[in-house]
Each structure stands twice: as structure tokens, then as C-alpha cells.
Amino acid sequence: MKKTRKNVVKKRKKTKSSDNSKVKNATPLTYNGIKFRSKLEVYCYKQLKNSNINAEYEPITYTILEGFNFNDKKVQGIKYTPDFVGEDFIIECKGWMNDA
């Protein structure tokens, strides 16, 4: 049988990650006594303060979906913690795009 593109399946190499972090190349920093997860979050915090916009850093976590059991297996819940929360807004800081 002649090999064609349709019947040839290439296996992809699994890349081994040194850590299981979704955030890659983020540099944690402490500024004004607050531990930020990245330089971008510090930058946003400074811009909010310089503009006299009141917002808190990661003040609340929302539960999107509660965890549950399915066929005797635990399905992990989904939670979301926005970076900054103001009176009537939420800011989510995102850096460079990656596979996550």
C-alpha cells in the first residue's frame, strides 16, 4: 500500500515542562506590600493609582462550576480570580500568548 498523507499518522513529541504553571515567563514582584504575579500587574496597579481609580488586587474568587463526582472520579471545579476589581469594573491582565 502506497503511503499518502491521509493514512500516515505522525506522533508528536510530548514536551516536558519543568513546572506545571500556566503562566510562563511571569516575574513575581512585591510592590507597596502587595505580592503581584507579574510585572504587567504591577504596571496596571501603578496606572490605576496614578489615575486615581480605586481598584483592589485579587479581592475575590468566583466559583464558575462546583466540583463534582462523575463515574467515581472527581471532576475539579472551575474558579476565576480577576486581577483588579473596582466599583463597576473588572480588569484581567494578560501578557504574551502561549499554549495555555
Q: What is the pLDDT of residue 95?
A: 81
Q: Interior CA angle at 13 toward 7 and 19, to 5°?
A: 150
Q: Which alpha helices (DSSP H) does 1-52 contain, by range?
A: 39-50
pLDDT in the model for residue 18: 43
Residue type, 50: N
Residue 98: what pLDDT? 72
Residue 74: beta bridge partners? 69
In total, the chain counts a number of residues equal to 100
CA dihedral 46, 48, 51, 53 (to 10 degrees): -150
Q: What is the pLDDT along the chain (100 residues), one digit of tens a residue?
A: 555 555 555 455 544 444 445 656 788 999 999 999 999 999 999 999 999 999 999 999 999 999 999 999 999 999 999 999 999 999 999 887 777 6
Say what the pLDDT of residue 19 is: 47
In this prediction, residue 26 carries a pLDDT of 83
